Structure 1
Amino acid sequence: MNNKINQAIFLLLCFTFLGLISCNPKTQTDELATTDKQAQAASSTPQTKPTQPPPSQLFPITKNGKEGFIDRTGKVFIQPQYDLALAFSEGLALVNTNSKWGYINPMGKIVIKPQFEEASIFSEELAAVKTGSKWGYINETGKIVIKPQFLEVEDFSEGLAAVKIGNKWGYINPKGEVVIKPNYDEVSPFSEGLAAVKIGNKWGHIEPTGKVVVKVIFDDNSVFSEGLASVKIGNKWAFIDRSGKVIIKPIFDETSIFSEGLASVKIGNKWGFTNRKGLVTIKPIFDEVNVFSEGLATVKIGNKWGFIDKTGKIVIKPQFDEADAFTDGLATVASNDGKVGYIDKTGKFVWQPTN
């Protein structure tokens, strides 16, 4: 688990977990390009509109090669009819039809017709879309508010979005104005008022004015979460505070971000969890882990995934080929043959794995 995974995990927690689709910290757009290539021919089935009000949360599912949405009880609310569908964000879900991306509302109505080669979820009322070879941003009506002009982009976070101009990264505001010049080789979104930036082969953190507040001296790092960020010093990982002061010494082989008071850490070839004092409270006995979400964390023993609580007790035994974190009471699980389902916190399926 490295810096890229750390940043990805944070974004997933901020924007909700999107099934088993992961995010690259430089830009969410790389994987959207991948999923775009995987899109199948559009369904000829007419769109089915739900008649009842939408539930508070909907979850994407796949059935017979098409994707739709269920509620938290496992009841189909939007019939599977899309080639690809991502979780709802800010009231809209990104869907793919005929290799084009558009957006639907929770009633299943298309509000922004599928027309983009690639696109991202809505974040802070804007979504990144690709036209030709350039990226820009639309608002929730589908109007282009920042014209396509960037080579790569990230979602807006804390009022700013990272964009690539030439071969360097900088940041723009919602008006599309460059407010932090493109001086960086790699960047992260802003988190807790700071963003990780790379110059050459070293990392530090800047504030929204572009001022460096954590010196660019680390070999790798993560975004800030719960007031701390993990940093690599030589071949070991430590944790620093917002001033750059080392709070937990560099004793770990790999780390993740803090979530719900704990951070996953690797010691030797096994993973456990540390608290903010640097005390390992859950012994490193797992082959892989994820961060805590809704009181539980996914852990891998051998080649199967299960879930533990904050005492380290296994509450859902390792039995899944893949598993994602809990969000809104459900967790995505998958099998090696590509079937995806949902379980509740007792481990009971509310949607049996399908593909």
Structure 2
Amino acid sequence: MKKSLLFLLLVFIQFVNSQELALVKKNGKSGYIAKDGSFKIEPQYKAARSFSEGLAAIQDNGKWGFIDKKGTLVIPATFDDAKDFNSGVAIVKKVKDWVYINTKGEVLNAPATDKLFDFNEGVAFFRQADKVGLINSKMTVVLEPKYDQIKPFENGYARVESNKKWGIINTGGKELVEPAYDEIGNYFKNTTWARKDKTFGIVSAGKFIPVDGAEKIWDFENQDLTYAKKNDKIGFIDLKGNWIILPIYDKAKAFYKNLAPVCVGSKWGYINPKAEFVIPPTYSDAEVFAANGLAPVKEKNWGFINEAGKLVIPTQYGITANGFIALFVQQDKGFIDGVARVKNEGKWGFLKPDGTVLGNQWFENAELFSQAGEKSNTNEAAAEKPKAETKAVTKPASKKKK
């Protein structure tokens, strides 16, 4: 019985992995490759977006529609523009109007709003009289407009502004941290950092705890430590606001797998939570470790080291976009779900952990892999940069604008 369950689990994992597709451009046309490097959907579109919740927006004869993972057009190309699906809803443009549609292509009736905002984690913002609230994917009001600004949700929580003070809410609109701070961080394990006047501290259980001498605090990410600045140097604090690693570094990044990149002078290395250098500072730049135990490091170009500090992939690649391409290529760096997107001699491709190139192919553009049946975290091509609150689509000029 156990063997049968294990077999079914392995089959399920293989099936899920087979659904991961990446948007790539080859010979001026966009298509989609699978994790084995083969084309799942051949390059044939002038413009396209990454898959999100099983659907991808593509342009056909100047109009936008949506295909499924087999390349079948399931929502006809009748729109003048289209954005990604999230929470079962996408924003599309019909002539001059932006509207919400469901996965059947049916137009949804949303509450009156000055702008249409992308859905994220089951909710979307709506704005009335310069105040922002929340609706769910059923177009039901979750939170009446009451805040001046709401930042995008992260792991179920969002920063909100009211009368130039910041707090935290959840996707149900419940206020977890009242807007009482001049600046606030993300919400991690019921804790956040905040600034009150000129004092930085930790907010836990509704109580503000000043952090001794802190001049800036960065968001908690993967572990119960985050980096903070004191006397123009960087150290690490815990969730209670205690300095666990003294501020002696010039720069630092987040801990993951008990290793954090830190910079001394102009060189980067990695320390453990005891502030011991596990990997000496010899690199011109370094990024956080991935779940597979590899981290990007830079000499003249970028390569990858393992947790022992051994260079396992030579430093010969680029890992970040620049110029126009940076507007639509998500800047996540390093290994994500088993592959790393890199640039080599002006082309983009994917590295496997052994350093070989996925499918032995390079492309004019390549976006991150996304589950064909899950929502995508990838920015769509040719989209405008996010607004201060989140991505939004302004309604026609007859409506009130921000």
Length-normalised TM-score, structure 1: 0.69
1:228 matched to 2:210: no
Report the more deviating stretch, 265-274 or 169-178: 169-178
1:344 matched to 2:373: no
The one of 34, 37, 40 aligned to 1:71? 34
Return the offset for 1:239.
Answer: 1.4
Aligned to 1:212: 208
Q: Return the alpha-carbon distance in structure 2 between the equivalents of residues 134 and 94 of structure 1.
A: 32
Return the offset for 1:321.
Answer: 2.1
Unaligned runs of 5+ in 1: 1-52
Q: Return the alpha-carbon distance in structure 2 between the equivalents of residues 85 and 144 of structure 1.
A: 29
Q: Return the alpha-carbon distance in structure 1 between the equivalents of residues 345 and 134 of structure 2.
A: 36
Return the offset for 1:279.
Answer: 0.1
1:331 matched to 2:340: yes
Q: Return the alpha-carbon distance in structure 2 between the equivalents of residues 146 and 68 of structure 1.
A: 40
Return the offset for 1:242.
Answer: 2.2
Unaligned runs of 5+ in 2: 1-14, 59-63, 65-79, 93-97, 100-114, 321-332, 366-402
The one-letter amino acid of 1:343's match is L
Relative to structure 1, the CA distance from residue 279 to residue 178 in structure 2 (aligned partners, 3 Å threshold; closer, same or farther) is same
1:296 matched to 2:274: no
The one of 355, 360, 363 aligned to 1:353? 363
Q: Return the alpha-carbon distance in structure 2 between the equivalents of residues 94 and 329 of structure 1.
A: 22
Relative to structure 1, the CA distance from residue 238 to residue 111 in structure 2 (aligned partners, 3 Å threshold; closer, same or farther) is closer
Using the aligned pairs only, state the percent identity.
29
Return the offset for 1:182.
Answer: 2.0
Return the offset for 1:62.
Answer: 3.1
The one-letter amino acid of 2:312's match is V
Alignment of 1:1-355 (within 5 A): 55=17, 58-63=20-25, 69-77=32-40, 81=45, 83=47, 85=49, 88=52, 91=53, 98=80, 100-103=82-85, 111-114=89-92, 115=98, 122-123=120-121, 125-126=122-123, 136-140=133-137, 145-146=142-143, 150-157=147-154, 159-207=156-204, 209-213=205-209, 215=211, 217-224=213-220, 225-293=222-290, 294-302=292-300, 304-322=301-319, 324-334=333-343, 337=346, 339-350=347-358, 351-355=361-365
Of the two structures, which has the highest relative contact order with CA contacts closer than 8 Å and spacing of 6 or more? 2
- Deviation readout 1:253-309 (Å, 9 max, x if unpaired): 11111101100100001111000110011111111111000200011112x111111
Question: 1:128·1:154 contact (CA, 8 Å) conserved in 2?
Answer: no
The one-letter amino acid of 1:74's match is G
Relative to structure 1, the CA distance from residue 168 to residue 95 in structure 2 (aligned partners, 3 Å threshold; closer, same or farther) is farther
Relative to structure 1, the CA distance from residue 120 to residue 77 in structure 2 (aligned partners, 3 Å threshold; closer, same or farther) is farther
Question: 1:340·1:353 contact (CA, 8 Å) conserved in 2?
Answer: yes
- Deviation readout 1:311-335 (Å, 9 max, x if unpaired): 1111111111225221110111135
Length-normalised TM-score, structure 2: 0.62
Cα RMSD for the two superposed structures = 3.6
